[in-house]
Amino acid sequence: ERANELMNLVGLEKVKNNLATNMSGGQQQRTAIARALMNNPKIILADEPTGNLDSDTTETIYNLLRDINKKFNTTFVIITHDRRIAEKADRIIEIKDGRIGMDV
């Protein structure tokens, strides 16, 4: 029941029985997000969650993460090289050569 609820939340109710090989990159990423939410975590570490996605799908995934943040009060720590994504975050910590270079 929880899995179906989460698949609906991330917009995958129509493809929930598909194999990963029959899903787009964005659908696979939304599946990973639903899976990460299964046990109601307070914090999710997301390493390059939009790394292999086109710009429209990147925006969709970012908006989904923001919606989950607001709805469930889930904190996302997003590791990214995409400055457009970083600039939308509530806080940016830039690490360069193993040191914090910026904390905004």
Query: How high is the pLDDT of residue 51?
Result: 86
Residue 18 has phi, psi (to 5 degrees) of -75, 150
pLDDT of residue 63: 92
1-5 long-range Cβ contacts below 8 angstroms, 24+ apart: 2/38, 3/34, 3/38
Which CATH number belongs to the domain containing residue 70 in this structure?
Answer: 3.40.50.300
pLDDT at 45 (0 to 100):
95
Distance CA 6, CA 89 (A): 23
Structurally, the chain folds into a number of domains equal to 1
pLDDT at 50: 87
pLDDT (tens digit, 0 to 9) for every residue of the chain, 104 residues total?
Answer: 999 999 999 999 889 888 888 998 889 988 999 999 999 999 999 999 888 888 898 898 899 999 999 999 999 999 998 888 899 999 999 999 999 999 99
State both tokens at 52. 């292999």
Residue range of the domain that includes 52: 2-103
Q: What is the pTM of this model?
A: 0.81
